């Protein structure tokens, strides 16, 4: 959990609860298998709507290169790198995260 940018114990507990209550162990295993098989590379150029991609430059889960690759292949994409660990609600109390900015 620390690799996701969560430092406080209550943040770690909240994330564990989020995962625990969100799916059964079998459902998580099925979701993991399904996500490993998804390959959207061929359809990226077909995306024709404005797309904002937020990516933490220190993201420990999804490499920055993956976000850059995706952003380069969607012609209307704007790829924004945050200087934080992540750019999602996975690190809600981190200054600069999208969740912290929404407060």
- pLDDT for 10-53, tens place per residue? 877 887 788 778 888 898 889 889 988 999 999 999 999 999 98
CB of 87 closer than 8 Å to CB of 97: yes
| Domain boundaries defined on the chain | 2-102
Residue 86: its pLDDT value, please?
Answer: 64
- pLDDT for 66-97, tens place per residue? 888 999 999 999 988 888 766 655 555 545 44
Burial-class residue 41 by CB neighbours within 10 Å (0-12, 13-18, 19+).
Answer: exposed
pLDDT above 70 covers a percentage of the chain that reads 75
CB of 94 closer than 8 Å to CB of 11: no
Residue 58: its pLDDT value, please?
Answer: 79
Residue 32: its pLDDT value, please?
Answer: 83
Backbone angles phi, psi at 63, to 5 degrees: -60, 145
């Amino acid at each position: 959990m620390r690799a996701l940018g969560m430092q406080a114990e209550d943040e770690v507990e909240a994330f564990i609860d989020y995962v625990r209550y969100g799916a059964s162990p079998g459902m998580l295993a099925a979701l993991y298998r399904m996500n490993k098989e998804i390959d959207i590379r061929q359809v990226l150029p077909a995306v024709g709507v404005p797309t904002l991609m937020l990516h933490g430059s220190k993201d420990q889960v999804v490499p920055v290169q993956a976000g850059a690759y995706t952003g380069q292949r969607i012609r209307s994409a704007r790829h924004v790198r945050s200087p934080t660990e992540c750019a999602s609600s996975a690190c809600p109390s981190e200054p600069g995260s999208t969740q912290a900015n929404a407060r």
